[in-house]
Structure 1
Amino acid sequence: MNRKIALLTLGAALIAVPGFAAAGGGPRGDADGNGTLTRAEAEAHATRAFARMDTNKDGKLDAADRTAKRAEMQARMFERIDADKDGNISRAEWDQHGADRAAKRAERGEKRAAAGEDGKGRRHAMRGHHGKRGGHHAMMMARADTDGDKAISQAEFQTAALARFDAADANRDKQVTAEERQAAREAKRAEWRAKRAAAATGE
C-alpha cells in the first residue's frame, strides 16, 4: 500500500473519537484545577480552542480548516501505522494496527462494564445525538455562524462558547460548578430525548 493511497483511504477507515472531559474528570479550561470553571477560564479556553481549530490560521473556521485538519489527522495516523517508517504500510503493519484497535475496544468495553454502562446503549445514544453528519456538533457550529457566511470568526466562536457557559451558570455568579454542569447535561439529555420522541411519532 503506497503512501498516497493510504492517506486517501485512512480517513474513511479510521475513526478518532475526541475526549470531552479534562484529566481528572474536571471541566476543560479549568486552569486552577479546582473543579469549578469561571467565565474568565471559559473565555481563555475558547481562545485556545479556536487557535487550535483554525488550522490554516486565517482567523475563521470553515471548510478549508476541516479539510486541512482531516489531512493532518490522516498523516499522523499513517505515521503511527508505518512502524518501520519506510513510507509504506505493509500487511503486517496494517494487521498489527487492527489488532491494537481491537485490544483498545475490548479494554474500553471492560471499563464500561466495570462502571455499569451498557456499551450498546451508549453507541445508540451517541448515534442519535450526532447522526451521520455529526448532527449535534453541526447544529452548534451553525448557531455560532450568526452572519450566515458559512465560516465562524473568533468573535462568533467566543460568543457561542460564553453563551453555553452562561446557560449552565444557573445562579449567574460567573462560575460553573460540578452541580451546575450536571444539571446542564441532564437538561440537554431531556431535550434530546424529547426531540427523538417527537421525531419517532412524526410530530
Structure 2
Amino acid sequence: MRKLTLSLSAAGLLLGGATLAIAANQAGDRGATKADSNGDGVITLAEAKSHGDERFAKMDADQSGFLSAADREANRAERFAAADTDGNGEISREEMTAAREARSAERADRLAKRQAAMFDRIDTDGSGGISEAEMLAAKEARADRRGAMRRGGRNERGMRMLRQADTNGDETISKAEFDAAIEARFARVDTDNSGTITAEEREAAREARKAERDEMRSERRGGRRGAAAETQ
C-alpha cells in the first residue's frame, strides 16, 4: 500500500490542480491556462482529457503506459537535475535559493492573475470598483458553490479519491484508469452539468479543497492533543 500511496501522491493524477485547473497546492491557474486550449475561459471535458494526455505522457517516465513508483523516482531525479544547474550532482545553497525564488515568483504571478480575474468577476457592472451589493452577491454565490462541492461526500476526497482511480488494485494507474478518474473529477467540479468548467467552478473547487485541508489539519491537531492527554 505504501507503493501505491507514493505513486498516487507524487503523480497526483492531476485530477485537481493542473488537469482540471483546481488543484491545489498544484499549479491551478497555470494548469487552467494550458487546459483551456482555445482561450475562451472555460474548460471542456475534451480539453481536460487532452491536457491529461500530455501530463500522463510526461509523468510516465518509462513510457510503460502506467504510473508507478518507478515513474515517481524518475520524475524526482528530473526535478533534482533541473535544480542542479551546474550538473555536479549536488544542489548548492545558491541553487536551492534560486529554485525557491523561481517557484515563489511563479506562485506570485499566478496569485496576481487569479486576484485580477476574481475582481473582474465580482465587479459585474464593470465600474472598476466593487460595491457592497456586488460583494454580498459574490459572497452568496461562493457559499452556494462551496455547498455544491461539499455534497460529493468524504469518500471522494483526498487520497481516497486517488486510490479509487486504481480500480483493479494493481498499485499502478493505467491510462484507462487515469482517463476515467479525470471524467469523474470533471463531473464533480462541473456543478451545473453544463459540460464545461467555468472560472467560478474552479474557484469553488479551490475553496472546497482549502476547507477540506483545514478540516484535516484540525482533526490531526485534535488527535495529537488526545494522544498527549492519554500519556499524562
The two structures share one fold, judged by TM-score above 0.5: yes
- Listed one character per residue, the Cα deviations across residues 7-34 of structure 1 (whole Å, up to 9, x for unaligned) are xxxxxxxxxx9633227xx454111011
The one-letter amino acid paired with 2:213 is: W
**CA–CA separation in structure 2 for the residues paired with 1:189 and 1:71:** 30
**CA–CA separation in structure 2 for the residues paired with 1:157 and 1:173:** 22
1:111-190 to structure 2, matched below 5 A, reads 139-190=160-211
Whether 1:22 aligns to 2:20 is: no
**CA–CA separation in structure 2 for the residues paired with 1:174 and 1:109:** 29
Q: Which residue of 2 aligns with 1:198?
A: 219
Whether 1:81 aligns to 2:89 is: no
Change (3 A) 1:139 1:173: same
Q: Aligned-pair RMSD on alpha carbons?
A: 3.7
**CA–CA separation in structure 2 for the residues paired with 1:69 and 1:172:** 35
The one-letter amino acid paired with 2:56 is: F
- Listed one character per residue, the Cα deviations across residues 28-75 of structure 1 (whole Å, up to 9, x for unaligned) are 411101110011111111122111111101110001111222223333
**CA–CA separation in structure 1 for the residues paired with 2:169 and 2:158:** 17
C-alpha contact 1:59 1:154 (8 A) present in aligned 2: yes
Change (3 A) 1:194 1:140: same
1:97 to 95, 98, 105: 95
SS at match of 2:27: coil
C-alpha contact 1:29 1:45 (8 A) present in aligned 2: yes
Whether 1:71 aligns to 2:77 is: yes
Task: Give how far 1:89 is off.
Answer: 6.8
C-alpha contact 1:36 1:177 (8 A) present in aligned 2: yes
Task: Give how far 1:187 is off.
Answer: 1.9
The one-letter amino acid paired with 1:46 is: G
SS at match of 1:172: coil
The one-letter amino acid paired with 1:19 is: A
Q: Which residue of 1 aligns with 2:153?
A: none
The percent identity for this pair of structures is 37
**CA–CA separation in structure 2 for the residues paired with 1:193 and 1:159:** 28
The one-letter amino acid paired with 1:187 is: A
Q: Which residue of 1 aligns with 2:49?
A: 43
The one-letter amino acid paired with 1:97 is: E
TM-score, normalised relative to structure 2? 0.55
Listed as ranges, the gaps of 5+ residues in structure 2 are 1-24, 114-156, 227-232
Listed as ranges, the gaps of 5+ residues in structure 1 are 1-16, 83-87, 116-135
**CA–CA separation in structure 1 for the residues paired with 2:181 and 2:46:** 14
**CA–CA separation in structure 2 for the residues paired with 1:199 and 1:95:** 33
SS at match of 1:22: helix
Change (3 A) 1:27 1:169: farther
